[in-house]
Amino acid sequence: MAQEVGSILNFLEGKTILVIGATGFLAKIFLEKVLRVQPNVKKLFLLLRASDDKSAASRLQNEILAKDLFNLLNEKMGTNFKSFISEKLTVVPGDITFEDLGLKDSILREDISSQTDVIINLAATTNFDERYDIALDLNTFGVKHIMSFAKQCIRLKVLVHVSTAYVCGEKSGLILESPYLLRDS
């Protein structure tokens, strides 16, 4: 296990990661962990559902960085915390229910697609009583838009899609993971 963790940390060094659904529970844990244990990650683009840069920056501050989860990283970085966050995190207003992830700024869209090595998709509705149209937009068409965008990412090495426990249907027992190559889609 330690060797696997080490190889993941080594893999992430110098990489640019697009995190989709960055305000969610798992995404916050992922962000804090990566920033704390692999500070040499190059950059994290955080796609946040927002209409503009100002509201995206506000969501970053209020829904992510202000959480107690980031206290340890803040203590570890000390007076360098704000500059470290500013250097590593780029907030991106967008929406996966739209093509090109709702990225209105064509220059930013090009920057993301030309720099991204890893996409982590944690965006979804986990409300099992969600209205059908909303669940379909987020959990189905949103993933379709992410896959389409991923195909434009010239440096992309891996796309990780996190889903609910029910994504495999009602199979029981150990269900082994098998990589799905983007070129086969």
**Arithmetic mean of pLDDT over the chain:** 91
Most confident of 79-83, 129-133, 162-166, 170-174: 79-83
Q: Is the pLDDT of residue 184 over 60?
A: yes
Does 173 map to a domain? no
- Within 8 A by CB and 6+ apart from 180, the residues are none
- At residue 5, the pLDDT reads 58
- At residue 168, the pLDDT reads 63
| Average pLDDT of span 16-32 | 95
- The residue range of the domain holding 55 is 13-164
- At residue 90, the pLDDT reads 97
Selection from 55, 56, 52, 54 nearest residue 19 by Cα: 56
Does 67 map to a domain? yes
Measured CA to CA, the distance from residue 132 to residue 49 in angstroms comes to: 20
Measured CA to CA, the distance from residue 39 to residue 61 in angstroms comes to: 19
Query: Is 171 or 8 the better-scoring residue by pLDDT?
Result: 8
Q: Is the pLDDT of residue 84 over 80?
A: yes
Does 144 map to a domain? yes
Q: Which pLDDT tens digit goes with each residue over 25-58?
A: 999 999 999 999 999 999 999 999 998 999 999 9
- Do residues 20 and 103 touch, judged by C-beta distance below 8 A? no
Q: What is the DSSP string of 122-174?
A: ------TT--HHHHHIIIIIHHHHHHHHHTT-TT--EEEE---GGGGTT--S-
Confidence band, pLDDT 50/70/90 cuts, at residue 173: confident
| Average pLDDT of span 164-168 | 64
- At residue 118, the pLDDT reads 98
Q: Model-level pTM?
A: 0.88
Does 149 map to a domain? yes
Q: Is the pLDDT of residue 61 over 70?
A: yes
| Average pLDDT of span 147-158 | 97
Amino acid in the structure at residue 22: A
Which of 63-77, 92-106, 117-131 has the lowest average pLDDT?
117-131
Does 179 map to a domain? no
Q: Is the pLDDT of residue 182 over 80?
A: no
Does 159 map to a domain? yes
Does 177 map to a domain? no
**CATH number, domain containing residue 108:** 3.40.50.720
Look at the chain and report how many structural domains it folds into: 1
Measured CA to CA, the distance from residue 94 to residue 38 in angstroms comes to: 26
Does 17 map to a domain? yes
